[in-house]
Amino acid sequence: MSSVRDLKGQRFGRLVALYDIRRRDSSGGVVWHCRCDCGNEVNVVRHHLISGNTTSCGCYRREYVAEAKTTHGMTRHGKQHPIYRTWRTILQRCENPNVYNYRNYGGRGITVCAEWHNFIPFRDWALASGWEKGLSIDRIDNNGDYEPSNCRWVTQKENNRNKRSNRLITFNSKTQTMAEWAEELSISYYALKHRINDLHWPIERALTEPVRRRKYAS
């Protein structure tokens, strides 16, 4: 990094780095004074922030333990309700650097709003906004946070179409995802993907050339 000041204003989970306190820990690491989303302020060694080892003042761990002991009427015989599992999932993916998909959420600045750090408001929002078994939570703006105004409940198919990785294709003044074109033209998604990504066909040819059907000897 360019200097010890390069963390100022940067977010690490629930922590925002405020200033270098001009002190080193026992290993010589720079110590930064940070403010947590809960309002507490804490000193954290720089490499603990960078590595993701420290992402809160300790409130996250306390809340996790407290939630583990609380059912909110959403667990039965040790099984968690889908709404509760969704809530735990969005918190983990945004605030736990150790989960596999953190880099696609918390790692790129996506956060969970303060209100939803408590399960009850999230549960109430879910039930009031059309949650049904089998639906997934979806952010309307993929670069936006998890908050009531940016979230909705959708089918898995709709959720998949809203992923950042989806490629938008424009043909005859119409723009759709690759999956939508495949469905509209009755082409296998994987065949269309192969044509465009692997064979590098022009879009017009990829979308209009009939799919050859294999013939098998009888």
CB atoms under 10 Å from CB of 155, counted, come to 13
How far separated are the first and last CA of the chain, in Å rounded?
67
Residue-level pLDDT at 57: 86
Over residues 196-214, the pLDDT tens digits come to 888 889 999 999 998 776 5
Confidence label for 2 from pLDDT (cuts 50, 70 and 90): very low
Nearest-angstrom CA–CA distance, 175 and 132: 30
Residue-level pLDDT at 215: 52
Nearest-angstrom CA–CA distance, 4 and 217: 71
Tokens at 5, concatenated = 């000041």
Residue-level pLDDT at 204: 92
Which three-class secondary structure state does DSSP give residue 161? helix
Single pTM value for the model:
0.50
Distance of CA 112 to the CA centre of its chain: 10
Residue-level pLDDT at 56: 85
List the one residue out of 17, 37, 53 whose CA is nearest residue 117.
37
More confident call, 193 vs 131: 131
pLDDT greater than 80 at residue 3: no
Over residues 136-184, the pLDDT tens digits come to 898 988 889 999 999 999 886 666 666 655 677 888 888 888 878 888 8
Tokens at 45, concatenated = 């060694």
Nearest-angstrom CA–CA distance, 59 and 82: 25
Nearest-angstrom CA–CA distance, 201 and 218: 33
CB proximity list for 17: less than 8 A, separation 6 or greater: 7, 8, 9, 10, 11, 32, 33, 34, 49
Residue-level pLDDT at 127: 93
Over residues 87-132, the pLDDT tens digits come to 999 998 998 888 878 888 888 889 999 899 889 999 999 999 999 9
Residue-level pLDDT at 218: 45
Residue-level pLDDT at 72: 58
Nearest-angstrom CA–CA distance, 55 and 108: 14
Whether 67 and 117 have beta carbons less than 8 Å apart is answered as no
Over residues 38-82, the pLDDT tens digits come to 889 999 988 888 877 788 888 877 766 666 555 555 655 557 789
Over residues 7-31, the pLDDT tens digits come to 888 888 889 999 988 777 666 678 9
